[in-house]
Amino acid sequence: MRLKKMIVSSLLVSSLWFTGTTITNAEAEASIHNESIYELYVDRYFNQTVSNDFNVDTKNPSAFAGGDFLGVVEKMAHIKDMGFTTISLGPVFATESYDGKRILDFTQLEKHFGTEEEFENLIKAAHKNDLKIMIEFPLNNFSANHIWTADTSKKEWVTKSDNNKMQVDLTNAEAQQALTDVIVQFAKEYEIDGVKLSELDGAPVSFIDSMIAQLKELRSPMYVIALEESEANFDVHYSEQLLVDFRDAFKNTDLPTDIILETKNELLMVDNLLTERFTYYSALENMFPPSRIKVAVGTLLSLPGTPYMTYGTEIAMNGQNAAESHQIMDFRVDEDIIEYIKDINSIRNKSETLRNGKMEFLKNEDGYIVFKRYTDEETFIVVINNTSGTQRIDLSSDIVGEDMELRGIFEQDIVRPSDDGSYRLVLDREIVELYQVTDRKGFNTSYIAAMAIAYLLFLIFLVIVWKKGKQRRQESEQK
């Protein structure tokens, strides 16, 4: 099975090589639209060393589970192989909770996660693998035992709430300066590439914009985002309604999609660490989660904007609340979704058109979406069939061009103009297909040869397996 997947991936790459399109690398310009973000909690990812497992209890969903900085390093190849370019970590400061939100001290790293040296090793490993590291910084609702609560100089803007949390008056100039100093100093000390702000309620936009400006002065790139709606100058914006629209459109087939309009500068997601899992909603619909995830993620990776995926999506992690949805990552799973994300993300990473090209909707009705992504150098026709049946569309030469051909990257079909000059695209249910528009070349002998060699190797593999099995049976009978 693994060999077969390798052959399919090699054919996918071959189709890009032989069509003669201008595929480029995503390292061209520092822009968040060139990134795809993978978010995780350090504690829930992978436990590499037991030396920091203080009072760990994997059976208690509210307790620390043992994940650490070295665990992220150990499994970094998993993220890299799927094609993501940025890893967003939850808060890493001294904390009372596994998610890092009940912060005790901004000047200390959480001992459950590891040491300063191990955190620095994580950042260096990421950069060595051309990955960026983003860290979450909450602006409020820290632990009631935070060191600031004992500082009398801060009593004007720090209070303890009834729910055992420390509240900060974010309108207070001294509080704003203290938080800015902490965050900017951390970003300066460690070579992180981005900041995700949270707990923004009550924070003036001018305060956030000032912090963003100071962070931007440290280095480039330095991306700043938030998973909360705000008018501040974030690199890309979050919309709760857009998340809900995507989730509700892809949790089942044949659902309305006309609410999904052109995206430009938005974070594209179907869930995050603060919401129910997308799998939870597809399971309520009695749908097969892997198929739902592939269509949803395939769509997000084809649209303008910045794709944002939560850890565990690639294994169809389920959950309605934090206790259920913040599970320990399981890496011993079927690789079907992982391979799909890897394939479509590899195309996005190599194509300036899919990351930053223009977009034109051609059809958008009840799960059947067709749109054009294009630049002066390259054109894709993206077809998303999130319906319960086979769909077709006829595209005119005004859209595709005269005497061109469309090459399906995943389904490997080639579409040429009919007698009237139109192009008919036919796609099975629950599939996302990217068609590259290229000059008509007739038979592509190089591509056909590559396909023939790949399938020949697969047949040889099957013959070898069959012969070895036959040999073992004969040896067993002789004994």
**By C-alpha distance, which of 96, 87, 84 is closest to 69?**
87
As a whole number of angstroms, the distance between CA 362 and CA 370 comes to 5
CA distances from 152 to 105, 143, 149, 167, 421 (A): 16, 17, 8, 15, 78
Task: Please measure the distance between the N-terminal and C-terminal CA atoms of the chain and give it in whole angstroms.
Answer: 31
As a whole number of angstroms, the distance between CA 47 and CA 116 comes to 17
Residue that the structure tokens 């004992």 belong to: 150
Tell how far CA 393 is from the center of its chain.
Answer: 30
Q: Which helix (H) or strand (E) holds 94?
A: strand 93-95
**Counts for the chain of helices (H) and strands (E), in that order:** 14, 20
Structural domain includes residue 337: no
What is the predicted pLDDT for the residue at 161?
85
Regions of the chain with pLDDT less than 70 = 1-29, 442-448, 450-451, 470, 473-479
Specify the number of domains making up the chain.
1
Structural domain includes residue 143: yes
What is the predicted pLDDT for the residue at 394?
97
Crossing angle (nearest 10°) for helices 240-250 and 289-300:
130
What residues contact residue 254 under an 8 Å CB cut-off, 6+ apart? 366, 367, 386, 387, 388
Structural domain includes residue 444: no
Query: Each residue of 55-70: b (16+ CB within 10 Å) or e?
Result: ebeeeebeebbbbbbb
Q: Which domain holds residue 59?
A: 31-238
Q: Classify the phi-psi angles of 318: left when phi > 0, otherwise alpha if psi is within -120 to 50, otherwise beta.
A: beta
Sheet (strand 37-40) strand order: 223-226, 194-198, 132-138, 86-89, 37-40, 306-310, 267-268
Structural domain includes residue 157: yes
What is the predicted pLDDT for the residue at 390?
98
What is the predicted pLDDT for the residue at 458?
79
**By C-alpha distance, which of 401, 408, 451 is closest to 428?**
408
As a whole number of angstroms, the distance between CA 223 and CA 219 comes to 10
What is the predicted pLDDT for the residue at 63?
98
Residue that the structure tokens 């300036």 belong to: 352
Query: Side chain identity at 75, as an amino acid letter?
Result: K
Bond prior to 91 in cis (omega within 30° of 0): no
Question: Tokens standing for 279?
Answer: 């799998």
- Checking DSSP bridges between strand 37-40 and strand 306-310, what pairing results, if any? parallel
Structural domain includes residue 388: no
Question: Tokens standing for 41?
Answer: 């909690």
As a whole number of angstroms, the distance between CA 198 and CA 41 comes to 14
- pTM value is 0.88
Tell how far CA 259 is from the center of its chain.
Answer: 22
As a whole number of angstroms, the distance between CA 182 and CA 140 comes to 13
Structural domain includes residue 190: yes
What is the predicted pLDDT for the residue at 446?
60
From start to end of 147-249, where are the E strands? Answer: 158-160, 165-168, 194-198, 223-226
Structural domain includes residue 98: yes
CA distances from 67 to 75, 223, 384 (A): 11, 25, 37
User: Could you tell me how many residues make up the chain?
Assistant: 479
- Checking DSSP bridges between strand 103-109 and strand 93-95, what pairing results, if any? antiparallel
Biggest CA–CA distance in the chain, Å, is: 88
Which CATH number covers residue 143? 3.20.20.80
Please give the DSSP secondary-structure letter assigned to residue 313: G
Contact between residue 270 and residue 278 where contact means Cβ atoms under 8 Å apart: yes
What is the predicted pLDDT for the residue at 336?
93
Structural domain includes residue 87: yes
As a whole number of angstroms, the distance between CA 49 and CA 333 comes to 22
